[in-house]
Structure 1
Amino acid sequence: MIAVSVVRPHDLRVVEADMPPVESGEVLVRVLRAGICGSDMHIFHGSNPFARYPRVIGHEFAGEIVEVGASVTGFKAGDRVVVDPVVACGHCYPCRIGRSNVCAHLEVMGVHRDGGFRNFIAVPAGNAVKLKAETPIGIGALAEPFSIAANILERTGCGPDDTVLLYGAGTVGVTVMQVAKMNGARVIVADPDRARLERALGFGADKVLVSGVDDIPARVAPETDGLGPTLVIDCAGVPALLEEACRVASPAGRVGIMGFSPAPCNISQQEIVKKELTLYGSRLNRRLIPKVVEWLEGGKLKPEAMITQTFAAKDAAAAFELFEKEPGKTIKIQLDFAQ
């Protein structure tokens, strides 16, 4: 049995791992496919404030149940599942009001506790979501990244009356765009990388703008009867974008923030109040993976083209190198633990 561990910042290794014990309320999952996320790279670089080392990373993974704990019902060996990596206490104020993704005692698999980049992992049964037997396991492993998009768009609201401006055409931007389009919105995507913008058009973007070349505020001002976009989301995690987002948003508009930088940004109170803007933070997902699985299995999204490369798990170092050095060639790299 192997695991992909960040032993210390900048030191990623494929190591031998022990079979985990299975507690009463857990299921043992044989991991088949797992996706690499930008937050995995942050742990690798030592820039994630929540990670402790050594850490088996990986929070986007799917596989097959091989054992169920004594008190578990509803699952059996052989069931294919995707795992929600968000582990919450269920008792604190956020949990009581349905916001378990910001639980006061939050633990995320692959960050606060060891994750799914290994052959076998024991997880709470409540975090396992069944997949249909015919659902490709790689598609199942995309449920978690799409749940991030589902969360921000449930927080902000998004429907046919919206014109959405997305900053960032990376993996997060592409998933948010697809869910916004599924909800009937018009979507404009801004990014400095022209190749990424071409890719966004292929996924259904209505309009693309080149950041740093196009005058974004001027180009989006004519939207919504000259009022600007009704919903603006920073999918790039750049603090400086928040000021522009508030400036270009329509009166009564909403602004979604997905980045995790501690850096301050300058925004005008006046800009927020005069247009009565609403600002939303969004972190992880609040039990939305079952809904996302329905979307994926119902053909409402375009997941196949998201998977740009697949590496054998033993070649994780090469996969991370590609992710870091040639981001324009990748959307989602997955590790195959079945090989």
Structure 2
Amino acid sequence: MIRIRRVGICGTDIHAYGGNQPYFDYPRVLGHELSGDIVAVGDGIDPELIGQRAYVIPYLHCGECRACRHGKTNCCQNMQVIGVHRDGGMADYLSVPAEHLVTSRKLDSEQLALVECLAIGAHAVRRSATSTDELAVIVGAGPIGMGILQIARARGARTLVVDTNRDRLAFCRDMLGADGILHALEDDLEARIAHHNDGALADVVFDATGNPAAMNRGFTLAGHGARYVLVSVVKADITFNDPDFHKKELTLLGSRNATREDFETVTRLIESGELQPTAMITHRGPLEKLPTLMPQWCNPATGVIKAMVTCDTQPA
């Protein structure tokens, strides 16, 4: 049992609030980017955990399906995600399996609540096998795209970010260290990418937009022998030109959720100072004011990047 301290708001929550999340049944208590204090443990669980600060791995896998047996717990056939398939952490307390809690004595509550968001990016980058000095193009400058950007940089990749929001693009460049930023509607994307990559298109492209047109467009940004990773989810078909796909011998990858390995990677990177995730937090508010705050946080005009719900009056 954990006493919830912080809850991060992500695109899944915003889409669910707007009725556009494909995996939702309503009514549902939201909240899957969670941190808190362990206040009680069940039989057979180390009582020394009580009082420790922890974050939640919200992907409850069955451990029995073929995917789980092969170590792909992130795409369990019977997946239950806290805050999606079952009620989440926008509450005072939450009971979760002990194996889905990760403690840290070095990270504060806000840092812990951001691990899940960054783990999505860590899994996508690991799936892509991005390596040092490759050019990674991240399409979509929301929190997931920003997470991919930070993890790709930690892997030594050169990075370009594509979006239509100038403020978010500037944030990626000035605060998160992107090597370049491109406006999706105003820049000649192929020419600008080639300029940054010795005349070639991207070595790896990540889509984090949830926009069908952008996802289709991403195929044209990938170079010969490149990888294209679809991180976002959309209620639509994605299409591409087959001759071009084969000519380039592209590798198309889906990236879903994250595994414990990805969570632990992010934890180490934050603890070492290589990642500074709290820079993404632009809005904060208490749980009791969420009915008023949520419509504001869903509005891009407010400049929100990452909103954080505080579930207590204690400092992070």
Q: How does 1:85-104 map to 2 (within 5 A)?
A: 85-104=58-77
Kept in 1: contact 2:209–2:215 (CA 8 A): no
Partners in 1 of 2:238 and 2:266 — Cα distance?
33
1:158, distance to aligned residue in structure 2 (A)? 1.3
Kindly provide the CA deviation profile for residues 44-72 of structure 1, in whole angstroms up to 9, marking residues without a partner as x. Answer: 12222322222111000100000000022
Confirm or deny that 1:43 pairs with 2:16: yes
Which residue matches 2:50? 77
Superposition TM-score, scaled by structure 2 size: 0.94
Match of 1:274, SS? Answer: helix
Which residue matches 1:167? 139
Structure 2 counterpart of 1:315, from 280, 289, 293: 289
Which residue matches 2:253? 280
Which residue matches 1:200? 172
Partners in 2 of 1:267 and 1:230 — Cα distance?
18
Aligned partner letter, 1:227: A
Match of 1:240, SS? Answer: helix
Give the direction of change, closer, same or farther, for the CA distance of 1:316–1:78 in structure 2 (3 Å limit). Answer: same
Aligned partner letter, 2:178: A
Partners in 1 of 2:13 and 2:173 — Cα distance?
27
Partners in 1 of 2:133 and 2:169 — Cα distance?
24
Which residue matches 1:153? 125
Partners in 1 of 2:116 and 2:136 — Cα distance?
22
Partners in 1 of 2:227 and 2:245 — Cα distance?
10
Partners in 1 of 2:115 and 2:238 — Cα distance?
32
- Taking only aligned residues, the RMSD between alpha carbons, in angstroms, comes to 1.4
Partners in 2 of 1:286 and 1:326 — Cα distance?
30
Aligned partner letter, 1:70: D
Kept in 2: contact 1:242–1:267 (CA 8 A): no
Q: In terms of mean alpha carbon deviation, does 318-327 or 245-254 score higher? A: 318-327
The count of corresponding residues between Structure 1 and Structure 2 is 311
Q: How does 1:236-251 map to 2 (within 5 A)?
A: 236-251=209-224
Kept in 1: contact 2:296–2:302 (CA 8 A): no
Q: In terms of mean alpha carbon deviation, does 105-114 or 65-74 score higher? A: 65-74
Partners in 1 of 2:151 and 2:166 — Cα distance?
22
Kept in 1: contact 2:35–2:56 (CA 8 A): yes
Superposition TM-score, scaled by structure 1 size: 0.88
Structure 2 counterpart of 1:178, from 150, 154, 170: 150
Q: In terms of mean alpha carbon deviation, does 316-325 or 207-216 score higher? A: 316-325
1:75, distance to aligned residue in structure 2 (A)? 5.0
Partners in 2 of 1:53 and 1:111 — Cα distance?
9
Partners in 1 of 2:299 and 2:28 — Cα distance?
23
Partners in 2 of 1:245 and 1:36 — Cα distance?
26
Which residue matches 1:303? 277
Which residue matches 2:31? 58
Confirm or deny that 1:329 pairs with 2:268: no
Q: How does 1:105-254 map to 2 (within 5 A)?
A: 105-132=78-105, 134-202=106-174, 203-254=176-227
Kindly provide the CA deviation profile for residues 175-203 of structure 1, in whole angstroms up to 9, marking residues without a partner as x. Answer: 11111111111101111111111111121
Percent of paired sites with the same residue: 34
Kept in 1: contact 2:35–2:109 (CA 8 A): yes
Q: In terms of mean alpha carbon deviation, does 112-121 or 327-336 score higher? A: 327-336
Kindly provide the CA deviation profile for residues 233-255 of structure 1, in whole angstroms up to 9, marking residues without a partner as x. Answer: 11112222233322221111000
Kept in 1: contact 2:22–2:235 (CA 8 A): no
Q: In terms of mean alpha carbon deviation, does 85-94 or 166-175 score higher? A: 166-175
Partners in 2 of 1:201 and 1:256 — Cα distance?
22
Aligned partner letter, 2:187: D
Kindly provide the CA deviation profile for residues 292-334 of structure 1, in whole angstroms up to 9, marking residues without a partner as x. Answer: 1111111111212111121011011233122112455222111
Q: In terms of mean alpha carbon deviation, does 219-228 or 256-265 score higher? A: 219-228
Match of 1:251, SS? Answer: strand
Would you identify which runs of 4 or more consecutive aligned residues in structure 1 move more than 6 Å?
none
Structure 2 counterpart of 1:263, from 233, 236, 258: 236
- The structure with more helix, counted as a fraction of residues: 2
Unaligned runs of 5+ in 2: none
Unaligned runs of 5+ in 1: 1-27
Which residue matches 2:264? 290
Aligned partner letter, 1:183: R
Kept in 1: contact 2:41–2:47 (CA 8 A): no
